[in-house]
Amino acid sequence: MKDCLYIDNHILVVAKNRNISLKDFKEEIKKELEKENLKSSFLEEVYPICFEASGIVTFSLSSKAKERFLKQIEDGEFLLKNFAVCVGKPKYKNRVLYIDETDESKEEISEQFVHRSNKTGLLEFIPRLNEDATKIYSSYSVLEDNEKISLVKILGGFSFDDEVRFLMKEAKSPIFGDKKYEGEALAKNTNLALSVVEVKFSHPISGKNMSFRYYPEIDKKPWLYFNVEKFLKI
């Protein structure tokens, strides 16, 4: 299968190109599986990925795998690492979840809850007691920066396909090329500089430790302004 990183009876790990929806991507995968006589009636993504982003997508091919992946995510045992080039530089170099930029006394917030606004279609923070509140698990670290842009590592993004984009916008450093969350300050009509570059987890059936990496388009703008390869090797 094209761009397949790993497959067995329970899981599939594959690389997705940018500018393809997850729905269409899954249809392509189903066709590829049929061609190779590997048809699976169960194909569910472990985490979402947006249309504009590239990178690693992990799928469950059985209900047992899905259940155990969910448990790993809940227990913080599934690593989902994103790299993004962001506009400007976040106020803080390392942050856990969303930080209230107006409160200088707070170092970090242990948990935050969001929902998708019916009015704008975008994510927004809401009180925990709201019935549609979803807890998010994310953190970011600035790896390298110059005067105008920053290379940022973001861990998490399990709940919404635009969760990472929303968090960086709230950190006052939206992702380069993000039309949805105010990331077009430096360039119009550019591709979103966001990629799922690494996943680590235990195989849901065998328990074997597994790790996969993906290199974004490091020879193209804005990635080429940073030594992305160096940070992926760490």
Q: What does 137-176 look like in DSSP terms, one character per residue? A: -EEEEEEEE-SSEEEEEEEE--S-TTHHHHHHHHTT-PBT
Rounded mean pLDDT, 184-206: 92
Arithmetic mean of pLDDT, 25-32: 94
Give the span between the Cα atoms of 156 and 95, in whole angstroms.
12
In percent, the amount of the chain with pLDDT more than 70 equals 92
Query: What pLDDT shows up at residue 94?
Result: 80
Q: Is the pLDDT of residue 42 over 80?
A: yes
Q: pTM for this one?
A: 0.90
Cβ distance 139 to 152 under 8 Å? no
- For the chain, how many structural domains are there in total? 1
- Token look-up 């930029």 returns 101
Query: Could you list the residue range(s) of the whole structural domain that residue 122 is in?
Result: 4-232
For position 61, which CATH number holds?
Answer: 3.30.2350.10
Amino acid at site 30: K
Give percent helix, percent strand, percent coil of the chain, each to the nearest 5: 20, 30, 50
Rounded to the nearest 10°, the torsion over CA 23, 26, 31, 33 is -170
